Amino acid sequence: MREIDRGERRGIRSWWVTVPLSAIALASACAQQPTAGESATSTRPAEASGAPQGSEHSETTVTTTTTQPGRRVGALATLTFTDLHGGDPTVMTYAGPRDKNIDKRVTGTYYGKQNDPRRSADTMPVECVVTDGRNVASHPKEGEDDVPGSETWYRLAITGDPQFATKIYGNIAPAEQAALPECDLSQLDEQIAAIR
């Protein structure tokens, strides 16, 4: 933490308040790790923040928001998203890999632009594979590479709503892919029904 010059304090009554406030913010952010899209809020009384009673700093509120889902134990591979050099770098994941309407619900979006000097394509952990899912092909008319259709899908190893990514828009090292077990879809309908 850099030291704050007296001219930079802007309303902080004494320099010693900044240390406890920073410590509380760091501790709260580390201790509360919400899942995707959730916020964790913590309000501390004046005694915990070290600020004098009745001061403008008598309570400290820390809010932490995550944009990506939490990762689950059991990841056996890492998937790197790809836009196949097409125009839109957004790659979507779905509730399921089957050719059912309930499986076609979008449950996640990731960045898949290849060779972007400003940002790398998103990567996510994978826990299993489905080799007989609905067939997906690339869209060469939209500028994507011409890739043959595939029925292979990967279940992301994350908490929250089920997320399946098609092999067409994701790359996994061949050795990692060979080690992936087949996904058990026996409870997928119930998991999809629980999506809000």
pLDDT tens digit sequence for 16-26: 333 333 333 33
The answer on pLDDT for 156 being more than 60 is: yes
The pair phi, psi for residue 55, each rounded to 5°, is: -80, 170
What is the tens place of the pLDDT at every residue in 34-69?
333 333 333 333 333 343 444 444 333 332 223 345
**26 shares a domain with 94:** no
Tell which of 26, 43, 65 closes a domain: 65
Residue type, 55: S
Q: Which two tokens stand for residue 152?
A: 């292979």
Residue written as tokens 């836009």?
Answer: 83
pLDDT of 185 reads 96
**95 shares a domain with 29:** no
Q: Is residue 42 part of a domain?
A: yes
The pair phi, psi for residue 178, each rounded to 5°, is: -65, -25
Task: Quote the domain boundaries for residue 32.
Answer: 6-65
Query: Is 75 exposed, middle or buried, given 0-12, 13-18 or 19+ CB atoms closer than 10 A?
Result: middle
Q: Is residue 70 part of a domain?
A: no
Q: What is the DSSP string of the chain?
A: -PPPPGGG-TT-S-GGGHHHHHHHHHHHHHH----TT-EEEEEE-HHHHTPPTTSTTS-EEEEEE-SSPPB-TT--EEEEE--TT-S--EEEEES-SSSSGGGGSEEEEEE--TT-SS-PPPEEEEEEEESSS--B---GGGT------B--EEEE-BSSS--EEEGGGEE--HHHHHHPPBP--TTHHHHHHT--
**20 shares a domain with 108:** no
pLDDT of 73 reads 55
Is this structure's pTM higher than 0.75? no
Backbone dihedral region of 155: left (phi > 0), alpha (psi from -120 to 50 degrees) or beta? Answer: beta
Question: If pLDDT is split at 50, 70 and 90, which confidence band does 116 have?
Answer: confident
Number of domain units in the chain:
2
| Range 84-113 average pLDDT | 94
pLDDT of 196 reads 84
pLDDT of 75 reads 78
**188 shares a domain with 151:** yes
The C-alpha atoms of residue 55 and residue 59 are separated, in whole angstroms, by: 9
